[in-house]
Chains A and B, each alone.
Chain A
Amino acid sequence: MSAKTADKIATAVIVGVAAFIVLVLAGLLGFILYRGVGHISFHFLTSAPETIRKGGGIGPQLFNSVFLLVLTMIITIPIGLGAGIYMSEYAPANKITSGIRLIVEVLSSVPSIVVGLFGLLVIVNLFGFGFSLFSGALALTVFNLPLMVRITEQGLKGVPREQKEASLALGLSKWKTITSVMLPIAMPVILTGTILAAGRVFGEAAALLFTAGMSSPRLDFTNWNPLSPFSPLNPFRPAETLAVHIWKINSEGLAPDAAQIAAGASAVLVITVLVFNFAARWLGRYMYRKFTAIK
């Protein structure tokens, strides 16, 4: 077989595989959206679910998902940034450091249902946080934090050495060099990664079943006192998120329109995650252009 034929065959195979993957993905997305989009309305997005009657919405669940995401990010971003900076700039290159790196890798690939059970045993029961948004946020932190650490570390490692040296050569401290020279350059990478990680948190269900719980109290959206048990802002109340809600109505929903609600909620979830992804790409590119700007 001539090199040319081999090349042609290889190209054909690669294109074929790529086309197949794109087709499967497009089919999947198309199917979910096709089934669900028709059901999305303002009423659906804002009203509370019904147990046995028709016409329930996903308002509280949507709110819970967003709130849980914010809580998780409030916990993971500072710790993840700090740990990432440490791993990239301060940790000595030795066995302990590579051990930590390995553990971080492993942690981020633990199946989420295992994280959920761990959360139930340790966070919910042992620490006594109960089924709550806070427990859910801690469980999500378990696999979001390693991601955050790795993103930060990679972002900083990608900063050209000359930039770092230029700052140090001016007599700036290491910390100032990191915060004022390196982080701004690494920011597009870190931000993009963070948003992608956020997308994953938003769609997570298994880790939340036993931590954030599968029910919400009747929320009173006029009560903004975070200490009241009926306030949507109370982080220590149980909270069913959108992904968990989909799982629940699919498996035990009693409302006559359960199937449509599941389809609508799935479409909302998929659209949100897509928005996260596109926002990440757009913001990453925007910031890259801004920092390297030819203005």
Chain B
Amino acid sequence: MQSIGLSAKDLTVSYGDHAAVKRVSLDFSAKQVTALIGPSGCGKSTFLRSLNRMNDLIPNCTVTGEIWIRDQNINSPSTDVVSLRQKIGMVWQRPNPFHKSIYENIAFGPRYHGTKNKKKLDEIVEQSLRKAALWEETKDRLHNSALALSGGQQQRLCIARSIAVKPDIILMDEPASALDPVSTSKIEELISELKQDYCIVIVTHNMHQAARVSEKTAFFLNGEVVEYDDTPKIFTNPQRPETNDYITGRFG
């Protein structure tokens, strides 16, 4: 059996009275990519953001249920959210590098977590950029502003930034939907590389992308998981008519 990276049990997320995610249970395996697909507004982002407790920031948002990493339920109130988030990286739809230099974008996290040695930091920066396939393009201008990079480069920088703090899990919310086709395929290649080390959960509206990069796919509809299975099976032989309708483009 595959080792489990992260597992959600009966997760319900509500904004005020409105339940956006309803009793979702999903297991995400380590060293695998899981794609979350479904029509707009069905709760994919909401679900994803609960996994690293990012929804704590939204005042009227309540999350009930359990999220297990190994033997720890991270959705319990006693969890140290700050250190938990170091273990779970996140990448957003729109690239959001810090308004700092390329180097600082990456060194910022590790330095806070205790790596003060300049040489060590240099090493982490180089490794992270290499892993994100950005080193060759940026090694000569590490101390220039990250905002001068192209959108695709910025997104890879954001991925590099998140792996610099050595997470176990990376959550990605439509990481390529704001990018051009070339950048998109670079990000996809990168995801396939990264899954050798991380448990990756990716939200995408692009069926082909889901089919290309993921091992497993979960189909969300109205806050519920309709179907969750191996990706090839979801795309060639879905068990539920709603899934079939969605992947053949009949709605959503």
Report which A residues bind B (CB closer than 8 A): 93, 160, 162-174, 176, 180-181, 184-185, 291-295
> Are B145 and A170 in touch, CB under 8 angstroms?
no
B141 closest partner in A (C-beta):
A295
> Are B147 and A292 in touch, CB under 8 angstroms?
yes
Q: Is B90 an interface residue (CB 8 A)?
A: yes
> Are A172 and B82 in touch, CB under 8 angstroms?
yes
A168 to B53 Cα, complex, angstroms: 10
- Which residues of the other chain, B, contact A172 by a CB distance below 8 angstroms? 82, 108-109, 112
Contact size range, B: 20 to 34
* Residue in A163, A167, A171, A180 whose Cβ sees the most chain B Cβ within 10 Å: A171
Given contacts A184-B99, A292-B99, contact A169 B162 (CB under 8 A): yes
A185 to B99 Cα, complex, angstroms: 7
> Are B108 and A169 in touch, CB under 8 angstroms?
no
A203 to B92 Cα, complex, angstroms: 47
> Are A295 and B108 in touch, CB under 8 angstroms?
no
Within 8 A of A (CB), among B85-111: 85-90, 92, 94, 96, 98-100, 108-109
Report the minimal beta-carbon distance from B156 to chain A, rounded to whole angstroms: 14
> Are B165 and A293 in touch, CB under 8 angstroms?
no
B89 closest partner in A (C-beta):
A169
Given contacts A166-B158, A294-B145, A295-B145, contact A171 B99 (CB under 8 A): no
Given contacts A163-B96, A166-B92, contact A293 B108 (CB under 8 A): no
A168 to B92 Cα, complex, angstroms: 13
* Residue in A163, A172, A173 whose Cβ sees the most chain B Cβ within 10 Å: A172
A181 to B86 Cα, complex, angstroms: 17
Q: Is B248 an interface residue (CB 8 A)?
A: no
Given contacts A160-B96, A162-B94, A163-B96, contact A170 B147 (CB under 8 A): no
Q: List, sorted by A's number, 16 A–B pairs whose CB atoms are closer than 8 Å.
A: A160-B96, A162-B92, A165-B92, A166-B90, A166-B161, A169-B52, A169-B88, A170-B86, A170-B108, A170-B109, A170-B162, A171-B85, A172-B112, A293-B145, A294-B148, A295-B144
> Are A176 and B112 in touch, CB under 8 angstroms?
yes
- Which residues of the other chain, A, contact B148 by a CB distance below 8 angstroms? 293-295
- Which residues of the other chain, A, contact B144 by a CB distance below 8 angstroms? 295
Q: Is B241 an interface residue (CB 8 A)?
A: no
- Which residues of the other chain, B, contact A291 by a CB distance below 8 angstroms? 99
Q: Is B1 an interface residue (CB 8 A)?
A: no
> Are A171 and B96 in touch, CB under 8 angstroms?
no
- Which residues of the other chain, B, contact A293 by a CB distance below 8 angstroms? 145, 147-148
- Which residues of the other chain, A, contact B83 by a CB distance below 8 angstroms? 171
Given contacts A93-B59, A171-B85, A171-B109, contact A166 B145 (CB under 8 A): no
- Which residues of the other chain, B, contact A185 by a CB distance below 8 angstroms? 99
> Are A173 and B52 in touch, CB under 8 angstroms?
no
Report the minimal beta-carbon distance from A20 to chain B, rounded to whole angstroms: 41
| Selected contact of B165 from candidates A93, A171, A174, A184, CB within 8 Å | A171
> Are B147 and A171 in touch, CB under 8 angstroms?
no
A185 to B85 Cα, complex, angstroms: 23
B87 closest partner in A (C-beta):
A171
Report the minimal beta-carbon distance from B12 to chain A, rounded to whole angstroms: 22
| Selected contact of B96 from candidates A166, A176, A184, CB within 8 Å | A166
Report the minimal beta-carbon distance from A49 to chain B, rounded to whole angstroms: 49
A132 to B157 Cα, complex, angstroms: 56
- Which residues of the other chain, B, contact A294 by a CB distance below 8 angstroms? 145, 147-148
A166 to B85 Cα, complex, angstroms: 10
Within 8 A of A (CB), among B212-229: none
A20 to B93 Cα, complex, angstroms: 48
Q: Is B57 an interface residue (CB 8 A)?
A: yes
> Are A181 and B98 in touch, CB under 8 angstroms?
yes
- Which residues of the other chain, B, contact A173 by a CB distance below 8 angstroms? 82
Known: A170-B161, A176-B112. 6 other contacts (CB 8 A): A162-B92, A166-B90, A168-B57, A170-B162, A174-B82, A295-B144
Q: Is B240 an interface residue (CB 8 A)?
A: no
A163 to B54 Cα, complex, angstroms: 13
Given contacts A163-B96, A163-B98, A176-B112, contact A169 B54 (CB under 8 A): yes
1/0 per position for B143-154, CB-CB distance to A under 8 A?
011011000000
A181 to B165 Cα, complex, angstroms: 17
- Which residues of the other chain, B, contact A292 by a CB distance below 8 angstroms? 99, 145, 147
Given contacts A168-B54, A168-B57, A169-B88, contact A162 B147 (CB under 8 A): no
A169 to B109 Cα, complex, angstroms: 10
